[in-house]
């Protein structure tokens, strides 16, 4: 319930603070006194977009702050989902800065307007004649019927299954699209994979392959050069080895004359040993060297294949080709296993579909069972509200697809007068009739679910006499279960209030201000007497006012 409202620097309000209690709260005032200003300020707290033109003094900050007692609303999970601190006395504050920017806070935590609006829907319902069309909307009509049918638990279960069902359907659609695309590529991928697989990439060492090819391809020149090298090293008398031995003998003769000569002799000895090893290696290489045209052709073909694959796949390493082969293998496997995945998903979807059908049937059965009671209650209340011939018919049509409201389409049909035909509610009911229908529905709902604070903004327009008395009685009864505000021009309704506030204007230093005052019992009598007979209060008006209050 709304426990307090603070407004500063908004429209014609300089500063206003008021506290509210449970029950039926009446707000009255002359036309133009500023009741709409109060609603406008409240709308900002409910998430409406801010407008700098609404600020009274553009050099100062505008503040609207409300406090709601949310103990009975079971909102802890909602606060958690919005990442907000839960407080029994929840403070909502809206600020409009001189720059035109606005800020919103819930329990001192900054919030977006979207989150503010989400929470506000659970706290207060401002209802005016302009909002009566809500009763003609399918979602609202389902909400009414399901509240009476006590469908909340089964609808929550249905909604959870529907969420999973839609998620699996999306996954199935993606798989089916993937299958179509993969099938187009499957044959080509398979060709590429076989091409890569046939040459056994994992066993190829490209550097060795190229080296073997170069050796076989140049076997004659290699043999010739090896022979020349051996000749240079080992030709008798003039070869490098003999010449080196001669040089070593000369150094041997003088090695005893100094360490430096001995060191040179030893270095020549080392070179001599190394040359002997080189000659042995040259002999070995020459012996192994042989021409093999078939092997050369095999190596050439293998290199040609590898280079073609490099060019085709725009890579330069064997490892890159192996990676591509693995990727192709995965695509082929995916394509070949896709049917299994699709079949598995379809099986799960069929299972959820059966569960949804079962829940939807349960929801529909509960709705059909409660519709006669809702129709009866509506017609009885509307009869009291001056519509004795009003008749309702609520049709449910089973759909062949799932919706957030089950598998039903709903239609509220209405007939205002005898002899006329049933028609859609939005076409058959006038604005005044819709207001009374909405009041009737809200009063019925109050007996079944915890409604938020409701503020009726002059929904009694065009109503007078005994009907207004009945409307007031309905609001009074609703206020036993919830907090109800009624902005009204009718004394019969005003007299039903548990508390009564008056909106009025005052002039202060050439400035007009809107103020809100809680009336005492004596002030209420005068206010209701003025509502009955005008500003010049007569004794009969005072007596009538007292009678209404009693």
Residue 359 has pLDDT above 80, yes or no: yes
Q: What is the pTM of this model?
A: 0.69
Tell me: do 316 and 405 sit in the same domain.
no
Residue 537 maps to a domain: no
List, for residues 435-474, the tens digit of each pLDDT value: 888 899 999 998 888 888 999 988 877 777 788 889 999 9
Closest CA to 540 of 519, 550, 525: 525
Q: Do the beta carbons of residue 483 and residue 536 sit within 8 Å?
A: no
Number of folded domains that form the chain? 2
Inside any domain, residue 373: no
Instruction: Give the residue from 300, 321, 337 where a domain finishes.
Output: 337
Residues 6 or more apart in contact with residue 324 via CB below 8 angstroms: 192, 196, 313, 315
CB-based contacts of 38, cutoff 8 Å, min separation 6: 5, 7, 27, 503, 514, 516
Q: Each residue of 496-523: pLDDT tens digit?
A: 999 999 998 888 777 888 889 999 999 9
Residue 242: count of CB within 10 angstroms of its CB: 14
For CA atoms 36, 42, 48, 53, give the dihedral sign. positive
Counting residues of the chain whose pLDDT is more than 70, the rounded percentage is 96
359, part of any domain: no
What count of other Cβ atoms lies within 10 Å of the Cβ of residue 321?
20
Checking if the pLDDT of 493 tops 70, the result is yes
How far, in Å, CA of 305 to CA of 311, rounded?
Answer: 10
Phi, psi angle pair for 415, to nearest 5°: -135, 120
Phi, psi of 386 (to 5 degrees): 85, 20
Give yes or no: residues 38 and 182 share one domain: no
Pairing of strands 453-457, 124-128: parallel
Residue 64 lies in a domain: yes
The Cβ of residue 175 has, within 10 Å, a number of other Cβ atoms equal to 19
**Closest-CA residue to 39 (of 126, 155, 142, 151):** 126
Would you give the DSSP letter of residue 27? E
Whether residues 142 and 188 fall in one domain: no
- Which tens digit of pLDDT belongs to each residue from 364-384? 999 999 999 999 999 999 998
Rounded to whole angstroms, the Cα distance separating 298 from 303 reads 9
Q: Is residue 548 a part of any domain in this protein?
A: no
Residues sharing a CB contact under 8 Å with residue 76, sequence separation 6 or more, in sequence order:
86
pLDDT digit string, tens, across residues 264-322: 888 888 888 888 888 888 877 776 776 667 767 777 777 777 788 788 888 878 788 88
Please tell me whether residues 427 and 319 are part of one structural domain: no
Do 249 and 314 belong to one domain? yes
Print the domain residue range for 326.
178-337
- 172 within domain boundaries: no
Domain boundary among 308, 337, 366: 337
Please give the share of the chain, as a percent, with pLDDT higher than 90: 41
Q: Is the pLDDT of residue 416 over 90?
A: no
- CATH number (domain holding residue 118): 3.40.50.300
**Average pLDDT score over residue span 9-18:** 89
Q: Which residues make Cβ contacts (< 8 Å) with residue 547, sequence separation at least 6? A: none
Determine, yes or no, domain membership for 139: yes
Instruction: Enter the tokens of residue 4.
Output: 């307090």
163 lies in some domain: no
Q: How far apart are CA 545 and CA 541, in angstroms?
A: 6
Same domain? For 186 and 332 the reply is yes
Q: Across the chain, how many H-helices and E-strands are there? A: 17, 15
């Amino acid at each position: 319930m709304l426990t307090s409202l603070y407004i500063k620097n908004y429209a014609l309000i300089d500063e206003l603070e008021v506290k509210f209690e449970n029950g039926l709260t009446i707000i009255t005032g002359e036309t133009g006194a500023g009741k709409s200003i109060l609603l406008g300020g409240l709308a900002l707290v409910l998430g409406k977009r801010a407008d700098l033109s609404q600020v009274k003094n553009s050099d100062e900050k505008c503040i609207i702050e409300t406090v709601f007692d949310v103990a009975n609303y079971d909102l802890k999970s909602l606060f958690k989902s919005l990442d907000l601190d839960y407080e029994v006395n929840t403070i909502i504050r809206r600020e409009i800065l001189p720059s035109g920017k606005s800020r919103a806070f819930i329990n001192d935590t900054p919030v977006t307007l979207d989150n503010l609006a989400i929470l506000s829907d659970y706290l207060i319902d401002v209802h005016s004649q302009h909002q009566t069309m809500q009763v003609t909307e399918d979602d609202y009509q389902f909400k009414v019927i399901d509240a009476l049918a006590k469908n909340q638990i089964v609808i929550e279960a249905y909604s959870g299954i529907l969420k999973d069902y839609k998620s699996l359907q999306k996954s199935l659609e993606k798989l089916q699209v993937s299958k179509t695309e993969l099938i187009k590529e499957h044959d080509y991928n398979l060709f590429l994979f076989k091409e890569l697989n046939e040459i056994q990439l994992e066993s190829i060492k490209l550097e060795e392959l190229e080296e073997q090819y170069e050796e076989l391809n140049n076997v004659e020149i290699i043999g010739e050069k090896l022979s020349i090298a051996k000749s240079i090293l080992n030709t008798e008398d003039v070869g490098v080895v003999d010449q080196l031995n001669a040089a070593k003998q000369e150094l041997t003769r003088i090695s005893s004359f100094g360490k430096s000569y001995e060191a040179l002799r030893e270095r020549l000895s080392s070179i001599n040993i190394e040359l002997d090893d080189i000659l042995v290696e040259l002999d070995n290489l020459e012996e192994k060297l042989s021409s093999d045209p078939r092997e050369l052709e095999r190596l050439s073909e293998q290199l040609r294949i590898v280079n073609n694959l490099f060019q085709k796949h725009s890579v330069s390493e064997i490892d890159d080709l192996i990676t591509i082969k693995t990727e192709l293998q995965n695509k082929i496997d995916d394509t070949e296993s896709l049917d299994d995945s699709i079949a598995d998903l379809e099986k799960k979807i069929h299972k959820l579909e059966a569960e949804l059908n079962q829940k939807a049937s349960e929801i529909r059965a509960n709705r059909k069972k409660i519709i006669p009671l809702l129709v009866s209650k509506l017609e009885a209340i509307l009869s009291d509200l001056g519509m004795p011939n009003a008749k309702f018919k609520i049709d449910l049509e089973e759909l062949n697809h799932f919706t957030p409201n089950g598998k039903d389409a709903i239609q509220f049909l209405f007939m205002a007068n005898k002899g006329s035909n049933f028609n859609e509610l939005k076409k058959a009911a006038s604005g005044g009739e819709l207001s009374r229908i909405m009041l009737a529905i809200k009063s019925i709902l109050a007996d079944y679910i915890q409604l938020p604070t409701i503020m009726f903004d002059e929904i009694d327009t065009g109503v007078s006499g005994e009907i207004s008395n009945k409307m007031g009685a309905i609001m009074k009864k609703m206020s036993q279960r919830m907090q109800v505000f009624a902005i009204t021009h009718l004394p019969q309704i005003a007299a039903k209030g548990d508390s009564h506030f008056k909106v009025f204007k005052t002039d202060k230093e050439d400035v007009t201000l809107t103020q809100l005052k809680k009336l005492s019992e004596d002030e209420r009598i005068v206010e209701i007497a003025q509502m009955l007979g005008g500003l010049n209060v007569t004794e009969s008006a005072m007596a009538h006012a007292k009678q209404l209050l009693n």
